Amino acid sequence: MGFSKWVFLICSLLMISQKPIFCLTPKQVSEIPINFLNFAKKSEVFDWMVGIRRKIHENPELGFEEFETSKLIRQELDKMGIPYEYPVAVTGVVGFVGSGDPPFVALRADMDALSIQEMVEWEHKSKNPGKMHACGHDAHVTMLLGAAKILQEHRQMLKGTVVLVFQPAEEGGGGAKKMIDAGAIKNVNAIFGLHVNPVLPMGEVESRPGPLLAGSGFFEAVISGKGGHAAIPQHSIDPILAASNVIVSLQHLVSREADPLDSQVVTVGKFQGGGAFNVIPDSVTIGGTFRAFSKESLMQLKQRIEEVIVGQAAVQRCNATVNFFSSEKPLFPPTVNDKDLHNHFLKVARDMVGTTNVKEMQPLMGSEDFAFFQEVIPGYFFLLGMKDGKTTKPAFVHSPFFKINEDALPSGAALHASLATRFLLESNSEIPLLNIHDEF
């Protein structure tokens, strides 16, 4: 049977069964990413996305405080006629595009900003002192809204439902976990997320199957001794000396206890104690982060960090208490990409940007709370390049000089929409597009 007759037969059967009809050939499926990208590049769509991104950038909000950002998202979804649930996990929004029936695939964007004073002087600089979108979340929200517009305009192609997850508090607040607890991804079969990369060239994307980003946790310890005059240290119990020994010992956890082939990091970034040159303080506070690519290694590090801090403090006659911020800053699991979704990503991304522009990246010790979704359902996370040819050394994320290349907005929106659309098409058991070949 010829290919066209095969497609005609399937469509005829769907007519008889009174199911919604929108049949595509494999060639048409492969053209979806380029068609979506061309749609997103239309001047009216591009200008709309730029306007949204700049509004969000001017009004950065910290985790679980994204009320104005959430309001803007809901206003735009209302204009597009896309239903949604709100509030989800305080400020989160969950929208729905498609048939309303299974299968369900989710796209996620984080909304929160950072406690950083913006140093970039431009027309749309942050209007909230001490707060800045220095990690690109303003672009992430914009790209997901752009994907929503693409999907809504092409909703007849959706063989299922796309769930739009606008998530609060990615920057240490564990907003993804709270979204899960609130039912944001109930019945969802898979989820995709992206992050802009200022040092990856525009037009390129990168990711990998398996471990991509490390899991991470935070710790803070208060080491208490006995204060006194610096000239007579024998009458004091010096917590600064104890803390110094603690920090050195913590570095041994990686160099002498971890498998050299199992990458781990322990970093102390906070040391506070004393306020005078000639006074030994009563206590010292230290704090830091620990990271690993497996949950087992992460839990082992957590256990040993507490043991080392308490034990080394005791050697110096001090007491120590350790706080891992379990409720405020939950332990982030490693970001581990599903292998089947990686193959799906490769097909879709190559159809949009070309094979040579899809890179396999090395794992990074940075962390991402998208990993909470991946603990529950198959998930896939990737990086989107936005470096232009003019900037030799762009500022990296979490820098007060970080800037977004707005030319990348259409690519992020189109890739989001393409991944979801083709996932639904290829997941639909009634039209197994991936099994239809010309030789039929």
Q: Is the peptide bond before 103 cis (omega within 30 degrees of 0)?
A: yes
Q: Report the alpha-carbon distance of residue 380 to residue 178 in Å, rounded.
A: 19
State how far the Cα of 44 lies from the Cα of 410, in Å rounded to an integer: 12
Give the E-state strand segments of 129-214 in sequence order: 161-167, 190-201, 205-207, 210-213
> Which residues on adjacent β-strands are paired with residue 323?
220
What is the rounded distance in angstroms from the CA atom of residue 359 to the CA atom of residue 355?
Answer: 8
- Tokens representing 398 are 């979490």
Annotation: binding site: 135, 137, 171, 195, 398
> Which DSSP letter does residue 423 get?
H
CA-angle at 57, arms to 54 and 63, nearest 5°:
145
Q: Which residues contact 140 (CB under 8 A, 6 or more apart)?
A: 109, 110, 111, 194, 195, 196, 412
Written as six digits, the tokens of 235 are: 């009458």
Bridge pairing between strands 379-387 and 190-201: parallel
Peptide bond into 198 cis (omega under 30): no
Whether omega for the bond prior to residue 333 falls within 30 degrees of 0, making it cis, is: no
Helix axes 32-41, 137-153, angle to 10 degrees: 110
Give CA–CA dist 199/216, Å, rounded: 23
Residues flagged as binding site for Mn(2+):
135, 137, 171, 195, 398
Rounded Cα distance between 40 and 45, Å, is 6
Q: What is the dihedral of CA 183, 170, 404, 58, to 10 degrees?
A: 90
Q: Residue 183 contacts by C-beta under 8 Å, 6 or more apart in sequence?
A: 88
